[in-house]
């Protein structure tokens, strides 16, 4: 165990926490990570890293770690969808390889695998990673404190800074009373891991809608795929109950998806968990002595799969501040607060549009989806590319209401 006054205590050793601990420890800071779990469970969290997030992990110097531990490149998105035949969908595929020059596209890797990788790299870099931690209590101020229980013993640390990286239900955020803003829940999104699907093309992901079912297929290592389903609250009962995994698999019997037989022959190897889909955000995720990062600072609607990329960007900006500033003050985090506020605003607008296009059902919604797809292929201005290349690479006009109205207009 470190001394009782390390430079930084990180609460939560998931994606944001493990990554942050690695970077800070590599740069000579004394870091303690407090993680609740002893084994990272498969809770159904992100496994697809957007191209802009791949750039972020590369800039952090962590991309090789992901490849060494089974990350696979995803080169193309094929929009198998009720709007067109599989052949037409393949002609409309989006190639990720040419989107950003410094990386080969998106990548897929399991969430528990990533947590283990970053926890191990944090330890190798010199951070003290404590697991099975209970009863965390944090106080803010110019000398913040963190008390916790470890193996039945109560310990109190007095670091320079406490980082809350304890996910979407952050205890640090709740204890310190950060106000959380949220959109209305749109629908439900859930996923499960399925093995024995060797015929799914490894470099291809598919996203589409048929009838009242919006689906995603992401390749995972070996013969596995991660299936996600997005559906209306009114259809909740269809995917609930003890046999929900079998029923979810059967829902992939889709006319628009040429590999549906291969998927139906698969074997669910995780439970199916679903969550309501909407953005949550904190206007200013800092207070004296405290900074929130990753989902603890607010999470984007997972429909656009941005959470891992957001966490990596948070880590890069906040770690730069911590490494370069000796006598930290709350105002030192202002560049992070301002950049994150605008980044999340843009991604929120993009997520709302993605949900409108993909998870509203019926003829009108189907025609709208086809129209917007056509206009996007003709490069009409739209916020949607933000989810691939990053929200800051598009002009501010892309996020204006009039731009979106023009994009979806009949
Ligand atoms: C259904 C679904 C699908 C998603 N798909 C994608 C996707 O494809 N791509 C993508 O980029 N993002 C996706 N996301 C979002 C992504 O999973 C998250 O944004 C990302 O995991 C955030 O990382 P984090 O480290 O902030 O939180 P987490 O990964 O949740 O890590 C938080 C850590 O804190 C620990 N912890 C929690 N409470 C405490 C406590 N009190 N004390 C100590 N430790 C604690 C937890 O055990 C955990 O290890 C998805 C999310 C959901 C819900």
Each residue's pLDDT tens digit, 37-86: 999 988 877 789 999 999 999 999 999 999 999 999 999 999 999 999 99
Out of 229, 307, 347, 354, mutate this one to test ligand 1's pocket (max ligand atoms within 8 Å of CB): namely: 307
Q: Could you tell me the distance, in angstroms and rounded to a whole number, from the CA of residue 352 to the centre of ligand 1?
A: 21
Q: Could you tell me the distance, in angstroms and rounded to a whole number, from the CA of residue 299 to the centre of ligand 1?
A: 9
Out of 16, 18, 46, mutate this one to test ligand 1's pocket (max ligand atoms within 8 Å of CB): namely: 46
- pTM for this entry: 0.97
DSSP string, 109-155: --HHHHHHHHHHHHHHTT-EEE-S-EEEEEE-SSS-EEEEEETTEEE
Which pLDDT score, from 0 to 100, does residue 47 have? Answer: 87
Radius of gyration of the chain (CA): 21
Which pLDDT score, from 0 to 100, does residue 82 have? Answer: 97
* CB-ligand 1 contact for 16 (6 Å cutoff): yes
How many CB atoms within 10 Å of residue 390? 22
Q: Which of 252, 257, 248, 193 is nearest to 41 (CA)?
A: 193
Closest approach atom of ligand 1 to CA 166? 34
Q: Which CATH class is domain 8-65+109-183+279-345?
A: alpha beta
The structural domains of the chain, with segments of one domain joined by +, span 8-65+109-183+279-345, 75-98+187-276, 362-408
Residues 6+ apart with CB under 8 A from 262: 197, 198, 199, 200
Closest approach atom of ligand 1 to CA 50? 11
Out of 231, 272, 308, mutate this one to test ligand 1's pocket (max ligand atoms within 8 Å of CB): namely: 308
Which pLDDT score, from 0 to 100, does residue 4 have? Answer: 86
Structure tokens at 1: 């165990």
Please compute, for residue 73, the number of CA atoms within 13 A of its CA located in the half-sphere on the CB side.
9
Strand order, beta sheet including 31-34? 128-130, 31-34, 8-11, 161-164, 290-292, 286-287
CATH 3.30.9.100 for domain 75-98+187-276, yes or no, is yes
Backbone angles phi, psi at 329, to 5 degrees: -130, 160
Which pLDDT score, from 0 to 100, does residue 1 have? Answer: 53
* CB-ligand 1 contact for 164 (6 Å cutoff): no
Residue with the two structure tokens 């079912």 = 213
Q: Could you tell me the distance, in angstroms and rounded to a whole number, from the CA of residue 301 to the centre of ligand 1?
A: 13
Query: What is the C-alpha to C-alpha distance for residues 157 and 128, in angstroms, rounded to an integer?
Result: 13
Which pLDDT score, from 0 to 100, does residue 284 have? Answer: 98
* CB-ligand 1 contact for 390 (6 Å cutoff): no
Residue with the two structure tokens 């209305």 = 184
Mark the ranges of the chain whose per-residue pLDDT is less than 70: 1-2
**For residue 391, what are the β-bridge partners?**
none
* CB-ligand 1 contact for 110 (6 Å cutoff): no
């Amino acid at each position: 165990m470190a001394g009782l006054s390390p430079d930084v205590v990180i609460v939560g050793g998931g994606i944001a926490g493990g990554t942050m601990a690695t970077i800070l420890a590599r740069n000579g800071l004394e870091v303690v990570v407090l993680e609740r779990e002893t084994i990272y469970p498969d809770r159904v969290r992100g496994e697809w890293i957007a191209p802009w997030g791949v750039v972020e992990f590369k800039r952090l110097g962590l991309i090789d770690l992901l490849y060494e531990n089974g990350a696979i490149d995803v080169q193309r998105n094929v929009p198998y969808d009720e709007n067109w035949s599989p052949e037409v969908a393949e002609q409309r595929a989006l190639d990720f390889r040419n989107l950003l020059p410094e990386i080969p596209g998106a990548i897929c890797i399991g969430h528990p695998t990533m947590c283990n990788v970053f926890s191990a790299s944090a330890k190798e870099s010199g951070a003290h990673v404590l697991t099975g931690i209970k009863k965390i209590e944090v106080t803010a101020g110019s000398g913040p404190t963190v008390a916790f229980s470890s193996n039945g013993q109560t310990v109190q640390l007095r670091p320079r800074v406490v980082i809350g990286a304890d996910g979407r239900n952050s205890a640090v955020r709740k204890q310190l009373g950060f106000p959380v803003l949220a959109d209305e829940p749109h629908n439900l999104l859930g996923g499960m891991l399925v093995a024995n699907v060797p015929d799914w093309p490894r470099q291809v992901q598919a996203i589409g809608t048929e009838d009242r079912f919006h689906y995603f297929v992401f390749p995972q290592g070996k013969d596995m795929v991660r299936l996600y389903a997005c559906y209306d609250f009114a259809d909740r009962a269809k995917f609930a109950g003890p046999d929900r995994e079998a029923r979810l698999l059967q829902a992939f019997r889709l006319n628009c998806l040429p590999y549906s037989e291969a998927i139906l022959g698969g074997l669910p190897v995780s439970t199916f968990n679903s969550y309501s889909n909407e953005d949550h955000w904190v206007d200013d995720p800092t207070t004296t002595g405290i900074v929130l990062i990753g989902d603890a600072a607010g999470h984007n609607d997972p429909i656009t799969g941005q959470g891992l990329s957001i966490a990596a960007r948070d880590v890069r900006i906040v770690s730069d501040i911590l490494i370069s500033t000796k006598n930290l003050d709350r105002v030192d985090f202002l560049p992070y607060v301002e950049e994150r506020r605008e980044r999340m605003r843009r991604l929120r607008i993009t997520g709302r549009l993605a949900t409108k296009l993909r998870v509203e059902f019926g003829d009108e919604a189907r025609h709208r989806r086809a129209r917007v797809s056509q206009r996007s292929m003709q490069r009409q201005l739209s916020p949607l590319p933000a989810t691939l290349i990053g929200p800051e690479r598009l002009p501010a006009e892309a996020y204006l209401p009039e731009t979106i109205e023009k994009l979806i207009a009949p």
